[in-house]
Structure 1
Amino acid sequence: MEFSLEQVLAWRMERQFLAAVAAESAVAVVGRLCGVQAQVASAAEHAVAVRLAAPATGAVEAALERRELIKVWAMRGTLHLLTVTDAASCLSLMADARTWEKGAWQRTFATTGQIDAIADAVREILPGRALTREQLAAEILQTTRDDSLGELLGSGWGTVLKPLAWQGLVCHGPTDGNRVTFTSPATWADGWTGLPAPDPAAARIIPAYLGAFGPATMEAFDQWLIRGASRRASLRRWFADLSRSGDITEVSVDGQAAFARTADLDDIAAAVPVPGTRLLPAFDQFVLGPGTRDERLIAPHRRALISRTGGWISPVVVDRGRIAGTWEPTGDGLTVSLFAEAEPVPHDSLAGEANRIAKITGGSATLRVATV
């Protein structure tokens, strides 16, 4: 089946709650997007808010307080908001790659023996409790009696805790003032039954990913999941099994092979590009799902403006499904920088989005537009 890129982008806008139909809850947004990156909490709140029928911040915090979502290190080793069921499946696929057992990872961070010792301690310490980083580190050291782990556990990025998260042992707990706490997923979420086996996990997550960011290649999925580190044999088997079962179908997008959910084929074929401009926040899934190396989404000479140093992903202007520029908040409004090669973006559309952003952030809707 052959699709145009215009059909695909129009369909993605609808699926990601960026067109006519808005979401009713933070859980609906997070579930549809197969997770929302939450390394920057305000960006996650904003990514959800711009997709809600009644845009406002606080929806993510409320969903976490009700424990309808879970916050955990997941895709690409970054902190994500996920539904509980999706979290278990995503973590299963992360764990299946066993990236912490690779020689380079061990030489840079910790040995498998050290990770195993920390994991055994966490299994004993954490269930039924929520501990700050300092409290958790102190109890791990007391349990393992290995002082060499102290520097590892003091890492501000929690590098050595990530393999524990991927094994379903650690997630973020309720905040303690301004301090992060950690708990067990089984403590956080009622009904947590641990991680499924990788094959059924893939049977859930691959279609979920394609349901927001498809049609997409196997490689694009792997980059989104774990920066291309999945076991190749496993990855090929997962896609082959889903193809045989009829859950996914190989298609062509402007001559390039990709996979789509079979259930979405008719909707993609019927998708019609419609005028519409959206201002999306930093680290938005519209960009992160396909990845910043997708040249059909981001021209190579513009990538450095969007994927910046330190892992920062810029807020973007999306016009008719295409990235047409970037934007940033200023002290008295926001500044939009449109790409010179993009089709003209109506000023009224940008002004409307500026008003939407102002309602979400409580800031000014004053708009400045430049061309780069």
Structure 2
Amino acid sequence: MATLRVTRGQALAWRLGRHHLLAGAADATEVVRTLTAVSVFGSDPDLSVRRRLASPGPPGEVQRALADGRLVRTWSFRGSVQVMAPETAGAYLAVRSAGRQWERKSWVEHYRLAADDWPDLRAVVREVVADGPVPPQAVADVLAGSARFGHLAPEFAEPNHTLLKPFAWQGDIALGPDLAGPLVLQSPSAAPGWAGIPDLDEAGPQTVLEYVDAYGPTTPDHVHYWLGEGLSAGRTRLARWWREVRDDLVEVDVEGETRWHVAERADELAGTRAQPTVVLLPGKDDWVMGPGTKDAWVVPDGLRTDMTRGAAPVLVDGVVAGTWRVVGDALEVTTPPSPDLTGDLSAEVARLGSLLGSALELRTR
């Protein structure tokens, strides 16, 4: 296929649509599956998801989706906690496990746990959480009577999140559904759509394609940011997986910059026409964090620090143009859009007020 040529405005307009920010998705699972993962810490996953729904209900949609198993909550990207679609979460966990950090000498010596001890320990943990959600103390209670693993009981009783994470990465545990409650553990199979942990050679190319499908047109460096820095996949593996999916991608010339896009969506991209848009998103939303705050397409240099610190972005045509915050009954905006977009901003403020359950007055600062 010949190189596709588009403008940056077209590319960002396509991505806005793909992120369900122009026409909403049917449900929370569709949103999260498209974005691959939505962070819990330092962000507002419920607002991120509900802003992308065609018919958003009251606050608490992510909590409801977790409670009925439409989403799972677990440790994955950057050692933090994300909500993920159970159908695809296992692939990202497989990639996260690729480095096998628990086999490093420092781990083995600190926890007195050899690599060949893990299968039996994992089996114990899976059995305890099978009837979960249970507190980590439940695992500690079982291990306390073990001659082989008793020394690890205090690590679960604390609990030690560092030790817990490899169990999540390997699909033995997930976090309980209550976002506001204490830490509890359950089996990820509590989610009806849980598909298990696939083989790494299958998971790697799948996650590369899913990233390009959500954040295209993009580059291998962006894939490395999301899967390499975020999941510790390793540059060599990522380069191999990129080569394996290369036939499923099409080269795109974006105003002289070479990027790639999923081939089956090339016609969509070519047919996209940029329209003026104003979108208000919560801080650390995937729109910014997916490509990363270093990506000048989305985050101008002057606003990078604000985005890194978690300020809520005002997007104009997909580019961060300022920030917003709610103060009392007002929504304050820095660097408001040009006068011809005032109506779009007012409509977006009204939308946000509806999502938050409060009428908000637009105010600039």
- TM over 0.5, shorter chain: yes
Aligned equivalent of 1:353? 348
Change (3 A) 1:238 1:359: same
**1:329 and 2:326 aligned:** yes
CA drift at 1:109: 8.1
Q: Is the 8 A contact 1:38 1:79 kept in 2?
A: yes
Mapped to 1, the partners of 2:103 and 2:334 lie a distance apart of: 43
The 5 Å alignment of 1:223-372 reads: 223-227=225-229, 229-243=232-246, 246-308=247-309, 313-338=310-335, 346-370=341-365
Deviates more, 1:191-200 or 1:263-272: 191-200
Cα-to-partner distance string for 1:305-330 (whole Å, 9 max, x where unaligned)? 1101xxxx221101111111111122
Q: Tell me the SS of whatever aligns to 1:296.
A: coil
Cα-to-partner distance string for 1:272-297 (whole Å, 9 max, x where unaligned)? 11011010012211111111111221
Cα-to-partner distance string for 1:148-202 (whole Å, 9 max, x where unaligned)? 662576257x23212211111110124398323211113x133645311112112
Mapped to 2, the partners of 1:193 and 1:346 lie a distance apart of: 45
Mapped to 2, the partners of 1:237 and 1:111 lie a distance apart of: 34
Q: Is the 8 A contact 1:77 1:226 kept in 2?
A: no
Total equivalences in the alignment: 357
Q: Is the 8 A contact 1:336 1:368 kept in 2?
A: yes
Change (3 A) 1:287 1:198: same
Mapped to 2, the partners of 1:253 and 1:102 lie a distance apart of: 43
Aligned equivalent of 2:134? 131
Mapped to 2, the partners of 1:67 and 1:297 lie a distance apart of: 33
Change (3 A) 1:124 1:356: same
The 5 Å alignment of 1:97-116 reads: 97-102=99-104, 106=107, 113=114, 116=118
CA RMSD of aligned residues (A): 2.8
Mapped to 1, the partners of 2:10 and 2:179 lie a distance apart of: 46
CA drift at 1:363: 2.9
Q: AA paired with 2:253?
A: S
CA drift at 1:214: 0.9
Change (3 A) 1:23 1:193: closer
Aligned equivalent of 1:150? 154
Q: AA paired with 1:36?
A: V
Mapped to 1, the partners of 2:222 and 2:327 lie a distance apart of: 34
Q: Is the 8 A contact 1:30 1:36 kept in 2?
A: yes
Q: Is the 8 A contact 2:67 2:178 kept in 1?
A: no
Aligned equivalent of 1:218? 220
**1:162 and 2:157 aligned:** no
The 5 Å alignment of 1:171-210 reads: 171-175=174-178, 178-186=181-189, 188-190=190-192, 192=194, 194-210=196-212
Q: AA paired with 1:213?
A: Y
TM-score (norm 2): 0.87
Q: AA paired with 2:239?
A: R
Q: AA paired with 2:224?
A: D
Q: Tell me the SS of whatever aligns to 1:54.
A: coil
Match of 1:79 among 78, 81, 92: 81
Q: AA paired with 2:214?
A: A
Mapped to 1, the partners of 2:104 and 2:318 lie a distance apart of: 39
TM-score (norm 1): 0.86
Change (3 A) 1:109 1:17: farther
Q: AA paired with 1:357?
A: L
Cα-to-partner distance string for 1:22-52 (whole Å, 9 max, x where unaligned)? 1121112112212222235x71110111111
Aligned equivalent of 1:68? 70
Change (3 A) 1:367 1:83: same
Match of 1:10 among 2, 9, 13: 13
Q: Is the 8 A contact 2:73 2:83 kept in 1?
A: yes
Q: Tell me the SS of whatever aligns to 1:290.
A: coil
Q: AA paired with 1:127?
A: A
Mapped to 2, the partners of 1:152 and 1:94 lie a distance apart of: 21
CA drift at 1:333: 2.3
Q: Tell me the SS of whatever aligns to 1:335.
A: strand
